[in-house]
Structure 1
Amino acid sequence: MVEYFSLFVRSIFIDNMIFAYFLGMCSYLAVSKNVKTAVGLGAAVIFVLTVTVPVNYLLDNYLLKSGALSWLGPEYATIDLSFLSFIMFIAVVASMVQLVEMIVEKFAPALYGSLGIFLPLIAVNCAILGGSLFMQQKDFPNVGMAATYGLGSGIGWFLAILAIAAIREKITYSNVPAPLRGLGITFIITGLMAIGFMSFMGIKI
């Protein structure tokens, strides 16, 4: 249980997709102008990461890795389909994003309209694919750890976009120097927030 909790906290604060790896910056910058749309996109990212990381873990360990097909019989133990990892991971991500898009369009048409093109673009959000590739690199011992990592990574991305959206709403009423208005001050704030999140690196659970 401690291992799961440690991984969960680490994936939110220390290995944060935005502040540690700067993955998913395009959506982070484009959809963070107000809190409502940031919450909608962040929730979608949490769902997609929580589902795709464990699904891709199962695909990787029982289909793609060298020797993963040994459960079919000893004659399949030498088959290596790892060269298909990228295309299989992307196919799973695209399927989940399509599901999210249909759900949001059905139950929250106003949010669907405000998110616009950025909702289907979750499929090419590098934070989503990055979650599956990091999962592959970390070589988790079971699917539960992979799901925990996916959930934590999604929540970390959600917190990042929610925080910057709240700050950008307030900064509208601030006297920002003309050369820094818009993306300039947003990048500076993101850098400062990343430094703040680095303070969690010293925590041991």
Structure 2
Amino acid sequence: MEHIELFFKSIFIDNMVFATFLGMCSYLAVSKKVSTAVGLGAAVIFVLAITVPLNWLLDQYLLQPGALTWLGEEFADYDLSFLSFIMFIATIATMVQLVEIVVEKFSPALYNSLGIFLPLIAVNCAILGGSLFMQSREIATLGLAFNYGVSSGIGWFLAILAIAAIREKIRYSNVPPALRGLGITFIITGLMAIGFMSFGGMLTGGDEEEAPVEETTVKVEEPKKDSEQEKVVANNIKVNE
């Protein structure tokens, strides 16, 4: 259940583009055609699926305070968290270089259409954001880290694919001159963000269980019998006399 919840939340509710607006440069620049959007989106999924688990391993066994205890007790006090950005970016740059080589080898047309934006995945804030969010959310296992990387990539892929399909259609629409180009694109992106954010709460897990109400009992003294009351009154009269 935890894997399924993380998967759908990362795609719809915590979408990289619509929830945190990361990776907007590539999102706006490469979304003019569906074919190039599909290629770049697939590359982002691949890079996130590889870099997030790798950076999770680096964070767990190298960067966190006390992560080096597997080397010996004398390394228990070491804290290399200040190297997080450098290590994460190095891992991302390596994977992006691998993707660039593979795309150039097997799809030269896609490589030429993506142009400079393919190597710019290395500095795409959505890619680095995936690793940093993984770290800040304290994802517990390698499987969840891989799940988060794949689902975040799919969310970014759906975002750029949707806007590319819409931009191809609005070329033939009567858009006001002042809004043509990036203007109408930003408006559509905002409306799509509202639509995706409407999924918030779909995986809340149901209503919270109500806390049990403690029963309080109040002891009520039973009224004294008439005979006992009469005796008390008689004794009071004798005392007064």
Q: For each residue in 1:162-198, what CA deviation from the matched residue of structure 2 results, as whole angstroms up to 9, or x when unmatched?
A: 0000000000000000000000000000000000001
Task: Quote how far apart the aligned CAs of 1:141 are.
Answer: 1.0
Inter-partner Cα distance in structure 2 for 1:62 and 1:73: 12
**What residue identity is the alignment partner of 1:13?**
F
- Match in the other structure for 1:56: 55
TM-score by length of structure 1 reads: 0.99
TM-score by length of structure 2 reads: 0.84
How well do the aligned residues superpose, as a CA RMSD in angstroms? Answer: 0.5
Alignment of 1:1-205 (within 5 A): 2-204=1-203
Percent of aligned pairs with the same residue?
Answer: 76
Task: Quote how far apart the aligned CAs of 1:202 are.
Answer: 1.9
After TM superposition, which residue ranges in structure 1, 4 or more long, deviate above 2 angstroms? none
Q: How many residues align?
A: 204
Task: Quote how far apart the aligned CAs of 1:107 are.
Answer: 0.2
Unaligned runs of 5+ in 2: 206-241
Inter-partner Cα distance in structure 2 for 1:128 and 1:32: 18
Kindly name which structure, 1 or 2, has the bigger radius of gyration based on alpha carbons.
2
Inter-partner Cα distance in structure 2 for 1:58 and 1:80: 15
Q: For each residue in 1:50-92, what CA deviation from the matched residue of structure 2 results, as whole angstroms up to 9, or x when unmatched?
A: 0000000000000011000001111100000000000000000
Give the match's secondary structure for 2:53: helix
Inter-partner Cα distance in structure 2 for 1:10 and 1:146: 14
Question: Which structure: greater helix fraction?
Answer: 1
Give the match's secondary structure for 2:79: coil
